[in-house]
Amino acid sequence: MNKEALISVIEKTIPYKRYGKVIRVVGLMIESEGPAANIGEVCYIHTSSDKGEPILAEVVGFQNEKIILMPYREVNEVGSGCLVEATGNPLNVKVGRSLIGHVLDPLGKPLLDGEALPKGLTGYQTERKPPNPLSRPTIRQPLQVGVRAIDGFLSMGIGQRVGLFAGSGVGKSTLLGMIARNSNADVNIIALIGERGREVREFIEHDLGEEGLKKSIIVAATSDQPALMRIRGAYTATAISEYFREQGFNVNLMMDSVTRVAMAQREIGLAVGEPPTTKGYTPSVFSILPKLLERAGTVENGSITGFYTVLVDGDDMNEPIADAVRGILDGHIVLDRKIAERGQYPAINVLKSISRVMNVITTDEHQQIATKLRTLLAVYEENNELISIGAYKKGTNPEVDLAVASYPNIVSFLKQGVYEQVSFEETVQMMKNLVQ
């Protein structure tokens, strides 16, 4: 390091530490008198019974000149008068290519006890601004997802952001695992937010598999962790994705699920005194969603293609979070429980789903074939009741006759085994064969 760089580091160094003290703990909140700190800044809470390790907490608000902190883990040893030390910095995590294949917690540390981080990593801030809208190249290249229903009917572009909307148990995690294994992206960053503890290992071993893990980094925040940790899981995964995008990679960012991020933010908002609005969600929920989701997308030398699952209550696609996320993203894929109940997996309802960039990234021939097959599906669905009870007579309507004849083949095309691999070109060729 040269002389000028050393002087710059010395000038930025704060020669003193700022302290405050804990005066009250209520529920999720720790109230402190001092130190001087900003929203989002990380502080250390020093306790005598914590084996010498301070507790990490984040500044989430202010009240009557008091600082409101939220810890990154459950704490029982914080008492009145504990010292609170300001760090002057927001949360930073260590990132680098050697993280590929690892499972991390929301603070960027290995989730497995006793495991050490690989060497050669660099510090990276988790709170970052979305790219300038005018610096984003337009989406022009298709992304091979490896799922026929998506590549054929809902073609995605490199740098697109799409939502997977479904109720519980319809196959969101399985679909994410298929995309992670079959996609032609360079690296997958997978954020498991609010998952059951049992499901993390299950997802890694069964849905993702050894092949998928070789090009993936997983950030897991289970449902038993504090709300702040669940939110940090989403931000940490997005920051790691941004690091790889800056290195020139095409990244798949998969977040399961955005709904649990919103629920965690609602917990924090209510704890700091925000008024509940739509279905109990606080205003901050609807302000952080676009800031988080807009961070994905294209830049000059790389891209982040976002897959965000949305857990819809009671299969209601118009509940507040689903409605807000659908308005921000570049498309939505609806997983239908009725389709799953009849054994068609992945249970994608192509008639209710849309990709907003498909017309830009696919050929005219591909679009015409997809439109024709979609029309046949729609005609069959409209007349399904008449066909089911035998009230429709063959020859009454040529279009319905064609839909009835084509329907089994279209459904067979949409069905796909969990470990069945298919390329984008093979999918388009199969669609041509269907039409012929």
| Domains along the chain with CATH numbers | 17-90 (2.40.30.20), 93-362 (3.40.50.12240), 365-434 (1.20.1270.330)
Largest CA distance in the chain: 89
- pLDDT of res. 13: 64
- pLDDT of res. 375: 95
- How many Cβ atoms are within 10 Å of 185's Cβ, its own excluded? 21
Contact call for residues 329 and 163 (beta carbons, < 8 A): yes
Question: What are the tokens at 20?
Answer: 């405050």
- pLDDT of res. 12: 64
- pLDDT of res. 316: 72
Contact call for residues 367 and 358 (beta carbons, < 8 A): yes
pTM (predicted TM-score): 0.91
- pLDDT of res. 143: 95
- pLDDT of res. 348: 96
Alpha carbon distances (Å) from 255 to 43, 139, 170, 310, 385? 27, 21, 16, 9, 38
**Cβ contacts of 241 within 8 Å, gap of 6 or more:** 189, 251, 253, 296, 304
- pLDDT of res. 19: 86
- pLDDT of res. 15: 67
- Tens-digit pLDDT profile for the chain (436 aa)? 577 777 776 666 666 678 899 998 887 789 999 888 888 899 999 887 656 688 899 998 888 888 999 998 877 778 888 899 998 888 899 999 999 999 999 999 998 877 888 888 999 999 899 999 999 999 999 999 999 999 999 999 999 999 999 988 888 889 999 999 999 999 999 999 998 888 899 999 988 888 889 999 999 999 989 899 999 999 999 999 999 999 999 999 999 989 999 999 999 999 888 899 888 899 999 999 999 999 999 999 999 999 999 988 776 777 899 999 999 999 999 999 999 998 899 999 999 999 999 999 999 999 999 999 999 999 999 988 887 777 777 878 889 899 999 999 999 999 999 999 999 999 999 999 998 8
Contact call for residues 155 and 361 (beta carbons, < 8 A): yes
- pLDDT of res. 10: 67
- In angstroms, the CA 305 to CA 19 distance is 42
Give the phi and the psi of residue 274 in degrees, each rounded to 5: -70, 145
- In angstroms, the CA 43 to CA 37 distance is 8
Question: What are the tokens at 56?
Answer: 């990490």
